[in-house]
């Protein structure tokens, strides 16, 4: 997963270096910026730790519905080709869950039902990792699947409105024991696996 993150970042940087020439609308590099709102609604976790107040090891696993609001801001660059396809490398900032902020680095593949330079619907898949502090240095994975609508504002300038389902596999280090209302001390954590499910609503300017 770490190698995948590095590869995505290198592709993002190299794509930017090659994006100076526009050429024909089909088969060129371009840029974009995307921002939006994330509504996380489900959490699944498995923690194992010891608390000094108890002097015993605790194995806590559960799932719950819990609504959390977050935002995201990413920049991307990539290639559009064969009239209907796009492959983009993205990097930015995102709220993952309550009190959890990370830096996602992902790759996104998109299909436009009409030609890329026309108003119309699209669908996409995205995956990668989130950079930031995690338990035992484990990689934090992120996947998205969604749909959207493209509104052409000019020949090389478009507005994208998107809706996607998002899943994140996290390994947080700041664990709070809700039943005893205390944080797990550093060094007392033995396992930290947590999954979040949410919905993204985003706007993007593609140029």
Q: Are 69 and 61 in contact (CB under 8 A)?
A: no
Given a contact cutoff of 8 angstroms between Cβ atoms, the answer to whether 150 and 187 are in contact is no
Q: Which of 19-23, 64-68, 90-94, 171-175 has the highest mean pLDDT?
A: 90-94
Higher-confidence position of 104 and 97: 104
| Cβ density class 71-80: b for 16+ within 10 Å, e for less | ebebbbbbbb
Phi and psi of 181, rounded to 5°?
Answer: 55, 55
Say if CB 3 and CB 123 are below 8 A apart. no
Asked whether the predicted pLDDT for residue 7 surpasses 70, the reply is no
Is a pLDDT exceeding 70 seen at residue 103? Answer: yes
Least confident range from 154-158, 164-168, 178-182: namely: 178-182
Q: Token pair of 129, please?
A: 């990792």
CB burial of 164-184 (b: ≥16 within 10 Å; e: otherwise) equals bebbbbbbbeebebeeeeeeb
pLDDT band at 99 (very low <50, low <70, confident <90, very high): confident
Whole-model pTM: value is 0.85
pLDDT at residue 171, as a whole number: 95
For a pLDDT cut of 70, what percent of the chain falls above it? 87
Tokens coding 155: 């020949």
Domains recognised in the chain with CATH numbers: 2-19+27-206 (2.40.160)
Residue 28: band (very low, low, confident or very high) from pLDDT cuts 50, 70, 90: confident
List of long-range contacts for 83-88, beta carbons under 8 Å, 24+ apart:
83/26, 83/115, 83/116, 84/111, 84/112, 84/113, 84/114, 84/115, 84/116, 85/109, 85/110, 85/111, 85/112, 85/116, 86/110, 86/111, 86/112, 86/116, 88/32
Res. 16: pLDDT tops 50? no
CA-wise closest residue to 101 among 124, 133, 60: 133
Does the pLDDT at position 104 exceed 60?
yes
- The predicted pLDDT at position 51 comes to 87
User: Percent of the chain having pLDDT more than 90?
Assistant: 67
**Per-residue pLDDT averaged across 137-147, rounded?**
96
Dihedral pair phi/psi, residue 64, rounded to 5°: -155, 155
């Amino acid at each position: 997963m770490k190698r995948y993150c590095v590869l995505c970042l290198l592709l993002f940087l190299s794509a930017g270096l090659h994006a100076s020439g526009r050429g024909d609308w089909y088969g060129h590099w371009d840029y974009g910026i995307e921002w939006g709102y994330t509504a996380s609604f489900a959490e699944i976790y498995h923690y194992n730790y010891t608390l000094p107040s108890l002097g015993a090891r605790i194995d806590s696993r559960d799932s719950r519905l819990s609504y959390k609001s977050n935002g995201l801001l990413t920049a991307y660059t990539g290639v559009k080709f064969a009239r209907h396809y796009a492959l983009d490398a993205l990097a930015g900032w995102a709220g993952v869950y309550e009190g959890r902020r990370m830096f996602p680095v992902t790759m996104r593949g998109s299909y436009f039902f009409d030609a890329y330079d026309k108003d119309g619907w699209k669908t996409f898949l995205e995956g990668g990792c989130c950079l930031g502090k995690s338990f035992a240095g484990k990689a934090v994975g992120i996947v998205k699947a969604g749909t959207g609508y493209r509104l052409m504002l000019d020949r090389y300038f478009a507005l994208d409105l998107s809706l996607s389902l998002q899943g994140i596999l996290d390994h947080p280090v700041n664990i709070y024991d809700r039943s005893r209302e205390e944080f797990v001390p550093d060094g007392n954590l033995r396992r930290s696996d947590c999954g979040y499910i949410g919905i993204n609503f985003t706007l993007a300017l593609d140029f």
